[in-house]
A and B are shown apart, each in its own frame.
Chain A
Amino acid sequence: MNVVDLLEAARPEVAPMPLDQRRMVRERLFGAADDVVRTTIRERSASGAVTATAPRGYRADRVRVRPKRPRRSGSFAKMGAGLLVVGAAGAAGWSWYADSNDEAAVSLTTTTVEATTTTTTTTAPTTTLAPTRTGVTDEEPVLFPLGLIPVEEAVIDQAPVGGEYVVMRAGDGSWVRLEAIDGEEGATSDFDFSPIGSIEVAPFTFAEGGPWIYTIETTCGAVRVVDAPAQEQFRPLMTELFRGMSIDAGGAVDALLPASLSVVEAAIGSPEYRTVFRIEGQTDGDDDSGSDDDRLITLRQVPDGSIAQLLPGGAQPVEMIWLGERAVGVGDLDTTGDEIGPVAVYWRDASTVFAVSSDVVPLDQLESFVSGLRAATVNSWIERFSADAVDSSAAPGDGADDPSETDPDVTTTIAPPCSPQPSLGPTFLP
């Protein structure tokens, strides 16, 4: 055998990239809450590399538990005071989302309710009531279907290590997202940073007209600000924001916010309960507008969560009515047209925030689907979807050998040994 043949024969066979690593890398690249899950799941399902094990007509899937992350000492209850700086524009925009039509206000996180109440209404926080559109409560904070619906994937997705998020709204109505995620040292060493005020910032965008993503230089991990799409690089608002930013020795990123920029909501990442359902197609004979394979609905639920965690960077949500109450949506919110495009709706009931999305299912059908779900406890959700947790027929490479797949007590940390890790200061996350 000649040397070239030897080398060719030595080609290492590698297993598919484990899903947790795949997601971790995606989070590093696009941010933790980038709403591309549906694309990913479809791809992975098609390859058979992940799950896609549910036969039609059955609920059947495994619950995959990602490594737990250490919670920071901050809590939502501490967020109140800092949010009093919420400006009029942002508060007004958010209050439309936050307030219900009647006298009962939507219960956002405690602090956001306080902020909204302080700046726009006289409703006392203690009197706020959650809407009952889905029936979730603090005791039953998640939804699952009454009947048997094929499930592509059910995942308890721990938030990225050290993930902290803020959504802000500018006076021009645009939304800006800031996130801080723990990571290794030198994760951004490849960037060309430029000094602005006391920090260093590197802008990049995926394509012309896309949102500018500003990476702020940190010792470890990543801090990113994602502007609205179709804005110029370093538009005055962004430059003013960066000039007012600082990073202290402990890695805390804080800012003196521009007058026209308001914090809408902020959060420390919380576990997300994500389910991808496959619904029956409504094709009529030769109607090939969408195959069954494409009719996936992703439902993301974060008890005690925040829209700031779920809303992807660059998204510019608009206010809408959803199940009779106020919500925000992104994408194809027009139900009158023939074309169906990707759509996502974000809302809060009780203390749970939700995002439902689909590439091909129109808004009215999504609404109908969600209205058919019922509230359940977290344990019920886990039991419901972990019925096949032990799957001895799992193919190699689909995570069957990963102890975190079946052992919810696995606490393998993915926190890198680097210090200081970035965090958000009290202006963003009191």
Chain B
Amino acid sequence: MADVPLTGLAAARLYDDHVDGVHAMVARRVGAEHAPNVTAEVFEHALRGWDRYEESGATERNFLLGAATIVLRRHTDRERAYLLSIPDPSLRNTPMSHDPLVVEQTPYDADTERERELGGSSFDAAMNALVDLDADLRDTLLLSLWERMSTQSIAEALDLSPNTVRSMLSKARRALKAAR
């Protein structure tokens, strides 16, 4: 077999294998509107630094999500705006029912009700604390919470040691609780 642009196909295979995962992570951070362009930036960044992947020992997914983390730093304003626009999940399923037989589909949450009366929900406070978090800590935390990555995977993605990742996750949690 000759003359097949194997490298081009390999890169395209990488794209096809991982574009959904990268896009999903990016969309979770900056929203669907900006996700395609940022996703493209992620792959451009990753492909140009592919020699680092060869040395890193990371999986392709982890390497790409690490690249996404780096690229998202260029979009902190968009990320902040999007994160603060995410609706309170406890309100997502509130029934807009016109059926009188449908009652109480959302469990009553006394804490939430009290916080609303005080002018701010615990969710809003949590999101504000998240966006105010140190960027390194926020990235680490969101890779864990939203991308469901293990400590080892985060370490591969961010080129850190697992112990450093654990420490950062712990710091992030403490900072969030303190800010609330």
Instruction: State the A residues within 8 Å of B (CB).
Output: 1-4, 6-12, 14-17, 21-22, 24-26, 28-30, 34, 36, 39-40, 43, 47, 49, 184, 190-191, 204-207, 209-211, 229, 312-318, 330-332, 334, 339, 341-342
- Taking CB atoms and an 8 Å cut-off, the chain B residues in 143-162 that contact chain A are 145-146
> Quick check: B47 and A204 within 8 Å, CB to CB?
yes
Q: How far is the CA of A191 from the CA of B44 in the complex (A)?
A: 9
By a CB distance below 8 angstroms, the chain B residues around A312 are 5, 8
Known contacts A40-B16, A190-B44; A7 and B4 CB within 8 A of each other: no
By a CB distance below 8 angstroms, the chain B residues around A29 are 11, 15, 40, 43-44, 47
Contact of A15 among B4, B32, B47, B176 (CB under 8 A): B32
> Quick check: A10 and B126 within 8 Å, CB to CB?
yes
By a CB distance below 8 angstroms, the chain B residues around A28 are 40
Inter-chain contact total with CB atoms closer than 8 Å: 160
Known contacts A3-B122, A3-B176, A14-B32; A25 and B8 CB within 8 A of each other: no
Q: How far is the CA of A204 from the CA of B7 in the complex (A)?
A: 12
> Quick check: B47 and A11 within 8 Å, CB to CB?
no
Contacts A9-B90, A11-B146, A190-B41 known; list 13 others, CB within 8 Å.
Answer: A2-B177, A6-B126, A9-B89, A10-B86, A12-B86, A17-B19, A24-B36, A30-B12, A39-B13, A209-B7, A210-B8, A316-B3, A318-B2
By a CB distance below 8 angstroms, the chain B residues around A314 are 5, 7-8
The residue of chain A having its C-beta at the shortest distance from the C-beta of B36 within the complex is A21
B interface: dominant SS: helix
Q: How far is the CA of A15 from the CA of B31 in the complex (A)?
A: 11
Q: How far is the CB of B60 from chain A (nearest CB, A)?
A: 13
Interface residue count on the B side (C-beta < 8 Å): 54
- Taking CB atoms and an 8 Å cut-off, the chain B residues in 69-91 that contact chain A are 86, 88-90
Q: How far is the CA of A403 from the CA of B143 in the complex (A)?
A: 34
> Quick check: A342 and B9 within 8 Å, CB to CB?
yes
Per-position contact with A for B35-71: 1 when CB-CB < 8 Å, else 0?
1110111011101101000000000000000000000
Q: How far is the CA of A298 from the CA of B67 in the complex (A)?
A: 32
> Quick check: A207 and B50 within 8 Å, CB to CB?
yes
3 tightest CB-CB pairs across the interface, nearest first?
A210-B7, A36-B12, A314-B5
Q: How far is the CA of A184 from the CA of B90 in the complex (A)?
A: 38
By a CB distance below 8 angstroms, the chain A residues around B23 are 14, 16-17, 22
Q: How far is the CA of A10 from the CA of B37 in the complex (A)?
A: 24
Q: How far is the CB of B119 from chain A (nearest CB, A)?
A: 18
By a CB distance below 8 angstroms, the chain B residues around A210 are 5-8
Q: How far is the CA of A18 from the CA of B7 in the complex (A)?
A: 26
> Quick check: A10 and B47 within 8 Å, CB to CB?
no
By a CB distance below 8 angstroms, the chain B residues around A17 are 19-20, 23-24, 35-36, 39
> Quick check: A6 and B122 within 8 Å, CB to CB?
yes
Q: How far is the CA of A332 from the CA of B9 in the complex (A)?
A: 14
Q: How far is the CB of B143 from chain A (nearest CB, A)?
A: 12
By a CB distance below 8 angstroms, the chain A residues around B166 are none
> Quick check: A341 and B4 within 8 Å, CB to CB?
yes
> Quick check: A206 and B145 within 8 Å, CB to CB?
no
> Quick check: B24 and A39 within 8 Å, CB to CB?
no
Q: How far is the CA of A296 from the CA of B24 in the complex (A)?
A: 28
Is B27 an interface residue, CB under 8 A from the partner? yes
Contact of B145 among A7, A24, A36, A229 (CB under 8 A): A7
By a CB distance below 8 angstroms, the chain B residues around A22 are 19, 23
Q: How far is the CA of A40 from the CA of B8 in the complex (A)?
A: 14
The residue of chain B having its C-beta at the shortest distance from the C-beta of A318 within the complex is B3
Q: How far is the CB of B172 from chain A (nearest CB, A)?
A: 9
